[in-house]
Structure 1
Amino acid sequence: MSASAPSSYRLERAETVEAIDALAAEWAELESATPEATGFQSFVWCRNWIAVAGPSIRPRILCLRESGRLVMLLPLQIETRFGVSIARWLGEPMTQYGDALARAEAGRAHWRKLAQAEMMRWRDVDLFALTRLRTGAVMADGTRAGESFSAPYVDLRLATTRRHKSIERRVKRLEANGPLALAQAETPAKRESLARHALALKRGWLAARGVYSAGLSNPFAEDFIAALARDGFLQVNALRVGGEICAMDLGFIGGGAYRSFLGCFDERFAEGSPGQALTSRLVARCAQEGLVAYDMLLPADAYKLAWATGEMEIGARFVARTLSGALAAFALARLRPFVKRVLRAAGPSFARVKGAFSFGRRGARLSVSRPKETTT
Structure 2
Amino acid sequence: MSVIQRTTTGFTTKVIRDTDAFAALREEWIVLFGRCARATPFQSHAWLLSWWQVYGRPGALRVVTVRRDGQLVGAAPLYRTRRGGCAVLVPIGGALSDFADLLLDDACAPEAAEAMTTALLALRDWQVIDLHETRPRAMAGGVFATSWRGGARGIAASVCLELPSSPMDALVKELPAHTRKTVKRRVNQIAKLGVDVRPAPADESTRAVADLLRLHEAQWQGRGVNPEHLRPEFARHLSGALEGMVRAGEAAVLEYRIDGRHVVSNLVLIGPDLVGGYLFGALPELREKLDVTTLLIGSTLPFAHERGRPVMSMLRGAEPHKYRWRPAESQNLRLLFSRPRSPRAAVYVALVATKRRAVLYAKAKAPWVRQARDRVRALLSRRAKPSVPTQPGPPAEEKAP
Asked if TM exceeds 0.5, the reply is: yes
Q: Is the aligned partner of 1:149 residue 2:158?
A: yes
Structure 2 counterpart SS, 1:237: strand
- Aligned partners of 1:140 and 1:186: how far apart in 2? 36
Using the TM superposition, give the Cα deviation of residue 300 of structure 1 relative to its aligned residue in structure 2, in angstroms: 2.7
**Residue aligning to 2:50:** 48
Alignment RMSD (CA, Å): 3.2
Structure 1 residue runs without a partner (length 5+): 366-376
With over 3 angstroms needed to count, the CA separation of the structure-2 counterparts of 1:171 and 1:348, relative to structure 1, is: farther
Alpha-carbon distance change, 363 to 292 in structure 1, aligned in 2, over 3 angstroms: closer
Aligned to 2:195: 180
Task: Give SS of 1:236's match.
Answer: strand
Q: 1:217 to 1:343 in 2, by over 3 A?
A: farther
- Give the deviation of 1:167 after TM superposition: 3.1
Paired positions, count: 358
1:112–1:139: 8 Å Cα contact kept in structure 2? Answer: no
Alignment CA distance shift 1:279-1:343 (3 Å): closer
Q: Deviations over 1:60-82 (max 9, x none)?
A: 21112233332211111222234
The structure 1 residue matched to 2:170, chosen from 136, 160, 168, is 160
- Which of 14, 32, 35 is the aligned partner of 2:34? 32
Aligned partners of 1:343 and 1:352 also within 8 Å: no
Once the 2 structures are TM-superposed, how far is the Cα of residue 192 of structure 1 from its aligned partner?
2.3
Asked if structure 1 preserves the Cα contact closer than 8 Å seen for 2:95 and 2:395, the reply is no
Partners of 1:4 and 1:12 within 8 A in 2? yes
Residue identity opposite 1:47 in structure 2: L
For 2:314, the equivalent position in structure 1 comes to 296
In structure 2, list runs of 5 or more residues that go unmatched. 146-151, 174-179, 378-393
For the structure 1 residues 100 and 347, does the alpha-carbon distance in structure 2 shift closer, same or farther, using more than 3 Å as the test? closer
Encode CA deviations 1:115-147: one digit per residue, 9 max, x unaligned: 223323322112210221111211113875332
User: 1:254 — aligned with what?
Assistant: 271
TM-superposed deviation, 1:46: 1.2
Asked whether the equivalents of residues 252 and 259 of structure 1 are also in contact (C-alpha less than 8 Å), the reply is yes
Alignment partner of 2:262 out of 236, 241, 245: 245
Are the equivalent residues in 1 in contact too, given 2:277–2:300 (CA < 8 A)? no
Equivalent of 1:60 in 53, 59, 62: 62
Cα distance, 1:157 vs structure 2: 5.9
**Residues 91 and 100 in structure 2, CA contact (< 8 A), matched pair in contact too:** yes
Contact kept? 1:62, 1:74, Cα under 8 Å:
yes
Task: Deviation per CA, 1:69-98: give whole Å up to 9, x if none.
Answer: 322111112222344322111111112111
Length-normalised TM-score, structure 2: 0.77
Displacement of 1:199: 2.9
- Quick one: structure 1 residues 2 and 263, their matched pair in 2 at CA, closer, same or farther if it must change by over 3 Å? same
The alpha-carbon distance between structure 1 residues 363 and 180, as it changes in their structure 2 partners (threshold 3 A), is closer
Query: SS at the partner of 2:96?
Result: coil
Task: Indicate the residue corresponding to 1:104 in structure 2.
Answer: 106
Q: SS state of the match for residue 253, structure 2?
A: strand
| 2:228 pairs with 1:221 | no
In structure 2, relative to structure 1, the CA distance for the partners of 1:54 and 1:76 (3 Å cut) is closer
Distance 1:342 1:187, change over 3 A: closer
Per-residue CA distance 1:312-367 (angstroms, 9 max, x = gap): 33112112333333322222233144146326643347634989xxx6359738xx
Contact 2:186-2:294 at 8 Å conserved across structures: no
Equivalence for 2:131? 130
